[in-house]
Structure 1
Amino acid sequence: METNEEVNVGFLTTLKPTVNFANKMSAKEGQSWGPRTISDCQLIFVESGKATLTLGEKTYSLNAGECVFYGTDSSHKLVSSNSNPFTFMSIHFDWNSESTNPIHPLYGIRDCQLTNKITTYKVKLDEQWEVIFPHHFIIPNIDSMFANIVKEYRYEEQGYTFILRGLLTQLITLIIRNEINGNPSLGERRKIAPALEVIRKQPENNWTIHELADICGYHPTYFSSIFKESTGYTPKQYLINERIRKAKHLLLESKTVEEVSIKLGYTSIHYFCRNFKSTTGLTPTEYKLQSLEL
């Protein structure tokens, strides 16, 4: 039976969270962390690949786009897949600290035996309403928020600890808002996880609904239904969004519009420009010039 220790971290509006460590890495086949406990809290976003997290009496099979959270003295073990090792971003943090200076988590990590003990964190929204911070969740496009925190921590530019506090506050608030509004169906999301991963890795391919459905092992009609329910987009629109997301990065790397169009699998530069403008409100050239001006 799972045993919970509850911690009330206080009001959301008065939290002073501090990032202790942030990193992005690609795990090796079968690489594991734990069984262990940590002295602060940890958020993990799976960018690609697969992993398994054992936390208390629950085991989570993690795919691209999924997030997990655990805190102080929660017995856990994280293991990368042998066949499809994962790439992930990790944030260690404290909920409330007067200082913004990071305290490296290395010295607070302890080896342990796996137990059913986990720590549950509650955040107060007002005098009557509080939210339990989730251990497992999916939020569309949350990867950019993790990436910004990793970047600030890594480069340590002037005032970075204050920026980290602001970014972490924003991330925590988004997670709580998502919890209030109701999580997307994790079960349905897992069903389409293989399709999401191939689109993320190979957006230049002209994936058809039949191909994506076959990868997941479902009939195209059923696949299309659960895809729209889980992501809010049709498979075609999701593929376009991934292409445009990648196009933004390529345009900022001084690639020409034609080069980006070809690299992302478009046979017509005009069709690429139309997709880009309908998604961003700007033509690729306008986006490129705006980015240079800013």
Structure 2
Amino acid sequence: MNKNSIYQENLLEGDYFPKVVAYYFKEWNEFRMPPHRHDQVEIMYVIHGKCMVDVEGERILLKKNDFILLDANIAHALTVEKHHPCRMLNIEFRFMKKEGPSPSFKVLAAQDKAFSQMLNNCWPYLVLKDQEDTYHILKSLVQELNKKNSQNEIMTHLLISQLLIQIARMAEDSIVNPPRQQTNQYVQQTIAFIRENYDRDLEIKELADRVNLHPGYLHRIFKRFTGATVIEYVTSLRMEKAKMLLAETEIPVIDICDYIGMNSRQYFSALFKKYTGQAPVEFRKARLREQEICSW
């Protein structure tokens, strides 16, 4: 096993943790890096543009939001063509004896199935397409590292734990369903947008524009992946939010519809009754009675 490999067996026997030793943003243009290897695990993330990475006899095209996880001591080379700049964020880490309260590599593997499975596969490299979360974690990690303050060490440990688990789950998803992965990303991005904007009018055209798809195509793949149409999903989410607001807040019943993006109080009331079997006022009264009983 390579020294400092992410797949070393002793990482699961003792208390070890990845420590970032190098990190940098860099824009490359007409660049050809000779094959090289180093004693760190490396993540190369493409922020914009495109590049080629030669690794293990394969030439890999990385485009915007693609990234590669390279194990330690794996020979690789980077090529960026003229007039096609590529901006990247790279981090490199080794493994150290764990200090402090943050979880060790062994604990992460024991607690997360996808992470444990990734370690068992021993891939020399992984190429994945980001769904926006990975880059946010990487940026947050770099921001914490830039502070160079011993008090923020636990935050860097937690962020790199989150990063590795995120990568492992993405890898698991790409193996379980490789042909559906890109389509699934469109659906997940749409769901994320709905969850952040359910309190206002939402139309299928706006949702489709957010992921650069035709409305009819988004409608089809959304139904295939979730079992519900976009409208059914939005309605279900709004009704669940209404139930929470009725049960846990003192917002007047007549105002609840404004909090969940429905303009008509009458339509909201009729839809809520169809969904729960109770009118909004009845639902709130029933929850208040339940809380009074439980408080005795």
Q: TM-score, normalised by structure 2?
A: 0.50
3-state secondary structure, aligned to 2:34: strand
3-state secondary structure, aligned to 2:28: coil
Larger of the two Rg values belongs to structure: 2
| Higher-RCO chain (CA-CA 8 Å, sequence separation at least 6) | 1
CA deviation profile, 1:10-62 (whole Å, cap 9, x unmatched): 3399541111112222x232223331111111012211111111111222100
1:81 is displaced (CA, Å) by 3.7
Q: How does 1:37-186 map to 2 (within 5 A)?
A: 37-94=37-94, 96-98=95-97, 125=110, 130-132=119-121, 135-140=126-131, 141-182=133-174
3-state secondary structure, aligned to 1:38: coil
**C-alpha contact (below 8 Å) 1:22/1:149 kept by paired residues:** no
1:139 is displaced (CA, Å) by 3.6
1:171 is displaced (CA, Å) by 0.9
CA deviation profile, 1:107-152 (whole Å, cap 9, x unmatched): xxxxxxxxxxxxxxxx954899653365111241211000011112
CA deviation profile, 1:214-260 (whole Å, cap 9, x unmatched): xxxxx996798789999xxx9xxxxxxxxxxxxxxxxxxxxxxxxxx
**C-alpha contact (below 8 Å) 2:69/2:127 kept by paired residues:** yes
**C-alpha contact (below 8 Å) 2:51/2:63 kept by paired residues:** yes
Identical-pair percentage: 14
**C-alpha contact (below 8 Å) 1:45/1:66 kept by paired residues:** yes
1:84 is displaced (CA, Å) by 2.7
**C-alpha contact (below 8 Å) 1:67/1:138 kept by paired residues:** yes
1:93 is displaced (CA, Å) by 0.3
Q: Measure, in 2, the Cα distance between the counterparts of 1:34 and 1:64.
A: 23
Structure 1: unaligned runs, 5 residues or longer: 101-122, 197-205, 214-218, 235-273, 275-294
**C-alpha contact (below 8 Å) 1:49/1:81 kept by paired residues:** no
Q: Measure, in 2, the Cα distance between the counterparts of 1:228 and 1:29.
A: 42
Q: Measure, in 2, the Cα distance between the counterparts of 1:131 and 1:51.
A: 29
The structure with more strand, counted as a fraction of residues = 1
Pair 1:170–1:220, CA change in 2 (3 A): closer
Structure 1 stretch displaced more, 52-61 or 134-143: 134-143
3-state secondary structure, aligned to 1:36: coil
Q: Which residue of 2 aligns with 1:251?
A: none
3-state secondary structure, aligned to 1:73: coil
**C-alpha contact (below 8 Å) 2:208/2:218 kept by paired residues:** no
**C-alpha contact (below 8 Å) 1:56/1:75 kept by paired residues:** yes
Q: Measure, in 2, the Cα distance between the counterparts of 1:65 and 1:99.
A: 31
Pair 1:138–1:208, CA change in 2 (3 A): closer
Q: Measure, in 1, the Cα distance between the counterparts of 2:177 and 2:76.
A: 24
Counterpart residue identity of residue 21, structure 1: A
Pair 1:59–1:228, CA change in 2 (3 A): farther
**C-alpha contact (below 8 Å) 1:23/1:154 kept by paired residues:** no
Q: Measure, in 2, the Cα distance between the counterparts of 1:69 and 1:168.
A: 13
Structure 1 stretch displaced more, 169-178 or 36-45: 169-178
**C-alpha contact (below 8 Å) 2:16/2:97 kept by paired residues:** no
Structure 1 stretch displaced more, 156-165 or 53-62: 156-165
- Count of aligned pairs: 199
**C-alpha contact (below 8 Å) 1:12/1:124 kept by paired residues:** no
Counterpart residue identity of residue 11, structure 1: L
Q: TM-score, normalised by structure 1?
A: 0.50
Counterpart residue identity of residue 165, structure 1: H
3-state secondary structure, aligned to 1:159: helix
1:189 is displaced (CA, Å) by 7.1
Pair 1:227–1:11, CA change in 2 (3 A): farther
Pair 1:207–1:50, CA change in 2 (3 A): farther
